Chain A
Amino acid sequence: MRVTALIRKEWMLLLRDWHALFLLFAMPAVFILVMSLALQNAYAVHQGASFHYYLVDQDADAASAALIDRLAVAQEFKRVSSDASAAALEAEVQSDHMQFLVLIPKGFGQAMSGAHPLAVKLLAGPGVEPSVYRLFEAELHGAIARIYLQQTLNTLAARIPGMDAAGIDLDATDKLLQTESLYKVAGRNEVPSSVQQNVPAWLLFAMFFIAIPLSTTWVQERQQGTYARLRSMGLPAKSMLAGKLLPYVGINLLQVVLMLGVGVFIVPLVGGDRLTLGASPAALCLMALAVSFASVSYALLIANLVATSEQATIFTGAANLLMAAVGGIMVPRFLMPPLMQTLSEYSPMSWGLDGFLDVFLRQGGVAMATPEALKLFLFGLACLAAAAVCIRLGKRK
């Protein structure tokens, strides 16, 4: 009965706190929407060109024409035509108004098979990401190698009687590589979209932000004397913790439903990909419960460590950003150096993210998500125990 009263009170307080509702529901929903759309092209494979380049052909012979044709095949890179001089185009790339400039020097085709070949020049803007730079470099390199090979075959065919260079199909090399993403939707292999990659990460981030309204409410209760009054009424520490834990876990689970709803229904409406919920609803529920329990218990610990609402807000914000940075929410873990990757293994957000990715990307079931869920439950129990100790110590203060 006591815990029921506490739960009812928390719900009423939260429903009347527009700031908290905005922080818990509106902000993460908008965040997921924005991040999914903003990063759509970074994860996309079929959406067309993402990067652009100028090309200046100073040679204008068959080899340079073949190189231009070959580059045009690359879906991610699109040539932008311009009549400006090479120096003017270079200035545009220098100022990041264009990402790349490809300069084919005069005599390129002629010198290709000679003793002194002329190199094609690739200029990249200062703002181009190194990974994109390397990707375009590889694309260009592949195209040049193909033309060089074709020209070498033509030269050899002229010297070797009976050899027919035209009969050698260089496109056959494309068949020598087969790629397959192990991400499946309805039994079909697909490449995961930005929504699929982003929703779990930012959902997790939002769930841990529950520490702000929870800890500020607790601090206000202490400052207003309500906490002392409740304790003087004989309300035990376990009831006080349960009275916060249960309603806020409920709120956390509502957040999950809302965020997933945004991924499934709202993102496609504004031109993004639809979120698919994985193969195992049970695993999804397990992870949602585990993350929720961990984040609310962590919030209860913070609430008992801080003295003022300002401390609660600042500490929670900073700690969440740090956990998110270390845990692979902001920077994917595979991009981190080995030391940071090791450090990342100790972040609860990293466990949560791994578990959610098990469900959303790896199509895993309960068995696959259990190790991460277990770590989160243990983390939550440790936080709850520490919070209970803080309450007990507070009695002697």
Chain B
Amino acid sequence: MIQIKGLSFRYPGAEHAAIRELSLQVRPGSLFGLLGPNGSGKTTLISILTGLLTPAAGSLRIDGRSLPAEVRDVQKFSALVPQEHAFYPRLSVMENLKFFAGVLAIPQAECHARLDEAIAVTGLESFISMRTEHLSGGLKRRLNLAIGLLNRPRLLFLDEPTVGMDPQSRRFILDTIKRINADGTTVLYTSHYMEEVETLCDEIGVLDEGRLLARGTLAQLLGERGGRRLTVTLKAAPTAEQGRAFSAASGHALTGDEFSLAECSEAEFKRVVDLLGAQGLSVSRVKYGYGNLEELFLHLTGRQLRD
């Protein structure tokens, strides 16, 4: 559905490029999760994909159409759900939906059906007359999504659609997105919530400083990319003699009560544990690979603050 090759973009006057030679493919029908810290380039990438920004370099094709040349065609079958509440607070739910249906030039004959469909999918039936400024945060998010469904998109861009929601509303939105995807819509989804991406997305990309650091299914990322990291915690720190003997035998330095290797094969893992035992060192905890996406994410993007 989406093919990106060598894409670059820099905001005027910015020191660094927001997107740097990024290449990525998103399969038709997939639910692709794009993870990244603040300022990593997620929203910029979505803005380029929706035609709001024009890239400086690289090639971009969506469903066979080249961007930015054929952006109008792409906009007809795609929809953006921005992270802001992108509608009018002084209009009611129905007035907002009718307005955006008008902007999308949905034919009058189809309009009612489309409105009913968007309202039903997002569960807004009881709130259609309410002014949106009086809606709760969760209902606002649902309306934001409903507007994005009006043109029955084949490609849906969701930019952090669950920010600031309570667990019930978030679950409703996630289930709705799953249903939309199951009906055949390709979804590109950005979020800060790792557990959301873990449970929702069938493919994940990790973006930082405009570069794609990792891409694959959750199993691939946790198994292949993160599966070779070994962390061993000892019950007590080794003596100097124990440390020297272990280092000589294994080729790895051992000083404190924690020992880790970034890349460690299964054979090496067994050898290291055996050598520690041979030196009489008791192990309190062993971790091999990443237990969840957040650990992988922090490993890939680092722990320093971004804002």
Contacts and interface: CB of A to CB of B under 8 A. Distances in A.
* Chains A and B are bound partners: yes
Interface of A: 1-2, 4-6, 8-9, 12-13, 16-17, 223-226, 228-235, 395-397
B48 to A, nearest CB: 11
A4 B87 CA distance: 17
B59 interface: no
Interface stretch (B100-108, B214-222, B293-301): B100-108
A230 B101 CA distance: 11
A232 B50 contact: yes
A240 B72 CA distance: 16
A233 B75 contact: yes
B261 interface: no
Given A2-B102, A6-B103, A395 B82 contact: no
A233 B104 contact: yes
A396 to B, nearest CB: 6
A122 B77 CA distance: 86
Main secondary structure of the interface of B (DSSP, over half): loop
Contacts of B79: 232-233
Interface string B97-134: 01111111100000000000000000000000000000
Contacts of B99: 5, 8-9
Contacts of A396: 12, 53-54
Contacts of B76: 234
Contacts of A228: 47, 52, 80, 82, 86
A13 B91 contact: yes
A9 B88 contact: yes
A225 B82 contact: yes
Interface string B39-50: 000000001001
B52 A225 contact: no
A1 B76 CA distance: 16
Given A228-B52, A395-B53, A397-B11, A233 B86 contact: no
A121 B214 CA distance: 97
Contacts of A17: 90
A6 B98 CA distance: 11
Task: Pick the 9 closest A-B CB pairs, nearest first.
Answer: A5-B102, A225-B84, A225-B86, A234-B75, A225-B82, A232-B80, A229-B86, A232-B50, A16-B90
A17 B103 CA distance: 22
Contact of A5 (B51, B75, B86, B103): B103
A234 to B, nearest CB: 4
A231 B50 CA distance: 9
B80 A234 contact: no
B84 A224 contact: yes
A235 B100 CA distance: 11
B54 A226 contact: no
Contact of B147 (A6, A13, A223, A229): A229
B178 interface: no
Nearest to A236: B72
Given A16-B90, A224-B84, A224-B86, A230 B53 contact: no
B88 A13 contact: yes
Contacts of B51: 231-232, 234
Contacts of A13: 88, 90-91
A80 B260 CA distance: 104
Contact of B105 (A1, A229, A397): A1
Nearest to B98: A5
20 contacts: A1-B102, A1-B105, A2-B105, A6-B102, A9-B88, A13-B90, A224-B85, A224-B86, A228-B52, A229-B86, A230-B103, A232-B50, A232-B51, A232-B80, A233-B75, A233-B79, A234-B72, A234-B76, A395-B54, A396-B53
A233 B150 CA distance: 11
A12 B95 CA distance: 9
A374 to B, nearest CB: 34
Contacts of A223: 84
A229 B159 CA distance: 12
A153 B116 CA distance: 101
Contacts of A12: 90-91, 95
Nearest to B102: A5
